[in-house]
Structure 1
Amino acid sequence: MSISTIIPALRAALDAERVRDDAETLAIYSRDDTPGSCIPVMVLFPHSHEEVQAIVSIARRHRLPLVPRGAGSGNVGGAQPVPGSAVVSFECMQKICDYSAVDRTITVEAGCVTAAISAYVQADGLFYPPDPGSNPYCRIGGNLAMNAGGPHAVKYGVTRDYVLGLRAVTGTGETLCCGVHTSKGVVGYDLTRLLVGSEGTLALITEATLRLLPLPSAQATLRAVYDNTANACAAVQRVMAQHHTPSALELMDPYALAAVRAMGAARDLPEGSNALLMVEVDGEAITIPDQVQAIRAALAGEGSLEILEATDAAAVADLWAARKSLSPATKAMAPLKINEDVVVPVSRLRELLEAIEGIAAEQSLHIVSFGHAGNGNLHVNFLVHPQDGNEMRRARHGLQKLFQAVLTLDGTLSGEHGIGSSKRAYVPLELSPESLSIQRAIKRIFDPDAILNPGKLLPET
């Protein structure tokens, strides 16, 4: 592969300004939100589906690996370059291609900022439900690649549940249009659901047709505090067993509470607080009081220290302040945060937290856990010092034990962050050799020359 040959061809297909190989640009796009970096050979900024198609066709001829990128907000290395690769940034593709309030659908380009979708349709009383934590700046293409979720997935589901159809470019440079523009459609294999969550390893998604929902007219939030995580987990089970589905149900363990307190948040918690639940309900205003009453009754129980309720925006923001300060709080506690997002059935959440406490004690590690309790989806954060080789070895042992515990509890290794490069070595713990063989065969059909996001998702053979 000769870079001097490829760059003129790419500049002819795009233009000189959108084929960058200057040191400053390469440094900016050398990493995502994962520790580590790799300098790519160039960064490409397509403006259209046709330009993406041209990029893939040229890259295939020259065996140039392509790494698709949205906002680079992922934390499993899904958008990290590999040696000798080109980054394809979709940030210039932000068009709203089509919108129908009657059909409750919107078609957007892959670079569209996720939060902008709901902002665009809000005037018609609609919204796009998936809401990853990076919602204000992440891009829909990255959400599609990782099948992103968020706090409201407990009621509304994840990205895949809202994708009707896709336009994409395969590793052979061919255009693939799959899915429908309707709420029903069962013709052929469901390639749309296959591509969502494939992390850019099968095709580069350029457009998506998304399903929208009516915007709830009212909501209320409750904050419940407990003396320990076991009692908090029991409350989670009670909440999920009653007949109102919360729109969000978040949990913070004692170490997460300590982290936010160190940042100056959650100082109003009662003495002995060791676990916290945030519960949100939404719907028509007339339904909110009944929902709150049922949820409050479910939250009350052994170990409950306090239950607060808020309905106006300012009060709700105050209640959510502790949860939203967690990410910067944990990053401030150690030079490196190894962030896993494992999932178990809600009925086994308590067992998972007990296993995490055991791993922390056995390996002498500082582990902070919080996340989407209504889905059984915990963000398990190993806070470590990379320069301490002994601690890093213990962390690797701890990760292995964590994943084994999750699978023993009928769980899965990733709920919304994806696999990327950082977790692919652990995939054989969950997927059988037969399953991996079929998935590798699918990869060869879509991308026979293995140029699309190499080193991601599937483990080495």
Structure 2
Amino acid sequence: MIAAQVQQQLLQLLGPARCRFDQESLVTHSYDATPMLQALPDAVVYPETTEEVQCILRLANEYRIPIVPRGAASNLCGGTVPVSGGIVVVLTRMNKLLELDTDNLTATFQAGLNTKQFHREVEKKGLFYPPDPSSMVISTLGGNIMEGAGGLRGLKYGTTKDYVIGLEAVLPSGEVLRTGGKLYKDVAGYDLTKLLVGSEGTLAIVTEATVKLLPAPLVRQTMLVAYTDIYAAARSVSRIVGARIIPATLEFMDQPTIQVVEAYNHIGLPTDAQAVLLIEQDGQELASVRKDMEAIAAICAEEGADRIQTAADEQEAEQLMKARRSALSTLARIRPTTILEDATVPRSRIADMVLAINRIAEAHQINICTFGHAGDGNLHPTCTTDARDKEEIHRVEEAFAEIFEEAIRLGGTITGEHGVGMVKAPYLEWKVGEAGIELMKGIKQAFDPNGIMNPGKIFAKSARKRLVISK
């Protein structure tokens, strides 16, 4: 419990409607989209201005109260679970689009603005904001920034960190830090903007951001390619990019995923295929897009594709892309608990990684379906299980530990876009090493000397022992 005088000051600042201590509010803010993680906060607050955020942080810093920034809580790493209690700061009421600057091709918004809503407003001006996380209908832009979110268009266009060029953030001391601006070039000192993107609320609370925009593509074409040989699918991915063709979307689904998605959605997917690629190209000119798609089809045919299907119209294109975008929600129907992870490897090692995931799943006698962003090597092994079966959950945890180690062995990383949070914290040292952990802790100490910002995230109390995997 936080002290009575702190409760009183929060009530004076925000009023009872925006400062909650009741059990219902505490419970509904005790978890996020990550399965099997829950912890009660001591208070939930809903600021509407940067000045209110400043006051909240000053108060929390004075009394050493943990602060957990929260958007829509759609993250999958336990990033907004208040594991140490404290105050959950919900930013969804700070949801204004402050400016759409068509001269500088930038947009400035508050952190609580819904991602999909922002996309719609930008597109009304004939512009384009590429980062498209699968949670975009639910998620907030501030949450995307804190997690360094990616999406299906990451190969061609990059991820959130490539578009954020300015931030307003409140430090634990209550001071406001402003970085960057409407500038495409700025090398004045350390790049604090990039440092804050992906910092998972452990350094400061982002209240406003400025991002760069692009002209909207005028033409889009979509293709589905099926393979009986998973290595042929992986070779196709490498050859497409090697041919200097960068598709807007280059997605992968393995056979278990294909079969589940087709069973529930009846899209017409080839359930006998070992793998499918879903490929989309966009651009300003039909001739250029068509040329790329013809070249991609030729490469896939040369690599032994069994089926190459180009969407005849926008409706069919939407159906094909629905296959990939609906993968998680479809898999979630199978069993009570769905655990979605992400691990990234060089795109040339995708087949090796998928086969390793299948081998590990079989060894631990669990069900894992794999899909993801083949173009940038970011795979999402997804386990359907039941949290009530403790013995099976233990096998799931051991399997994912082996998957993370295998990703590192293949030259990859433990997370490509979901963040570290609580889930990956025990494995972070495997990737960055002891020196990297100590350097990150030093940065954390410089920003947050009292350790109030989202404690229990990124840094594990102790690193997990690495497994020895037989090769």
TM bracket, shorter-chain basis: over 0.9
Q: Distance in 2 between matches of 1:347 and 1:2?
A: 52
TM-fit CA distance, 1:265: 2.7
TM-fit CA distance, 1:390: 2.8
1:382 maps to 383
1:46 maps to 47
TM-fit CA distance, 1:312: 2.5
Q: SS of the residue aligned with 1:382?
A: strand
1:423 maps to 424
2:351 counterpart letter in structure 1: R
TM-fit CA distance, 1:26: 1.8
- Percent identity over the alignment? 38
Q: Do 2:2 and 2:42's aligned partners in 1 also have CA atoms closer than 8 Å? A: no
1:280 maps to 280
2:154 paired with 1:160:
no
Deviates more, 1:305-314 or 1:37-46: 305-314
Q: SS of the residue aligned with 2:419?
A: coil
1:80 counterpart letter in structure 2: V
Q: Distance in 2 between matches of 1:2 and 1:52?
A: 18
1:247 maps to 248
Q: Do 2:255 and 2:272's aligned partners in 1 also have CA atoms closer than 8 Å? A: no
Q: What whole-Å deviation, never above 9, does each CA across 1:170-204 have from its counterpart, x for those lacking one?
A: 12221111123211111010010000000000000
Q: Distance in 2 between matches of 1:241 and 1:194?
A: 31
TM-fit CA distance, 1:90: 0.4
TM-fit CA distance, 1:84: 2.6
1:17 maps to 17
1:277 counterpart letter in structure 2: L
2:154 counterpart letter in structure 1: A
Q: SS of the residue aligned with 1:407?
A: helix
1:30 counterpart letter in structure 2: S
Assess, with a 3 A threshold, how the Cα gap between structure 1 residues 22 and 234 changes in structure 2: closer, same or farther.
same
Assess, with a 3 A threshold, how the Cα gap between structure 1 residues 311 and 457 changes in structure 2: closer, same or farther.
farther
TM-fit CA distance, 1:345: 0.5
Q: Do 1:265 and 1:325's aligned partners in 2 also have CA atoms closer than 8 Å? A: no
1:434 maps to 435
Deviates more, 1:199-208 or 1:120-129: 120-129
1:330 maps to 331
Q: Do 1:262 and 1:329's aligned partners in 2 also have CA atoms closer than 8 Å? A: no
Pairing of 1:10-409 with structure 2 (within 5 A) = 10-35=10-35, 36-266=37-267, 268-270=268-270, 272-284=272-284, 285-310=286-311, 312-409=313-410
Q: Distance in 2 between matches of 1:264 and 1:115?
A: 23
Q: Distance in 1 between matches of 2:194 and 2:173?
A: 20
2:468 maps to none
2:466 maps to none
Q: What whole-Å deviation, never above 9, does each CA across 1:251-281 have from its counterpart, x for those lacking one?
A: 0001101211231434x24473221110000
The CA RMSD over aligned residues, in Å, is 1.5
Assess, with a 3 A threshold, how the Cα gap between structure 1 residues 18 and 253 changes in structure 2: closer, same or farther.
same
TM-fit CA distance, 1:365: 1.6
Q: Do 1:265 and 1:321's aligned partners in 2 also have CA atoms closer than 8 Å? A: no
Consecutive unaligned residues in structure 2, runs of 5 or more: 463-471
Q: Do 1:60 and 1:451's aligned partners in 2 also have CA atoms closer than 8 Å? A: yes
Aligned length: 460
Q: Distance in 2 between matches of 1:368 and 1:151?
A: 18
Q: What whole-Å deviation, never above 9, does each CA across 1:369-389 have from its counterpart, x for those lacking one?
A: 000000000001122222333
Q: Do 1:131 and 1:152's aligned partners in 2 also have CA atoms closer than 8 Å? A: yes
TM-fit CA distance, 1:16: 2.3
Consecutive unaligned residues in structure 1, runs of 5 or more: none
Q: Do 2:2 and 2:86's aligned partners in 1 also have CA atoms closer than 8 Å? A: no
Q: Do 1:265 and 1:322's aligned partners in 2 also have CA atoms closer than 8 Å? A: no
Q: Distance in 1 between matches of 2:220 and 2:143?
A: 29
Assess, with a 3 A threshold, how the Cα gap between structure 1 residues 183 and 391 changes in structure 2: closer, same or farther.
same
Q: SS of the residue aligned with 2:182?
A: coil
1:166 counterpart letter in structure 2: L
1:393 counterpart letter in structure 2: H
Q: Distance in 2 between matches of 1:426 and 1:404?
A: 9
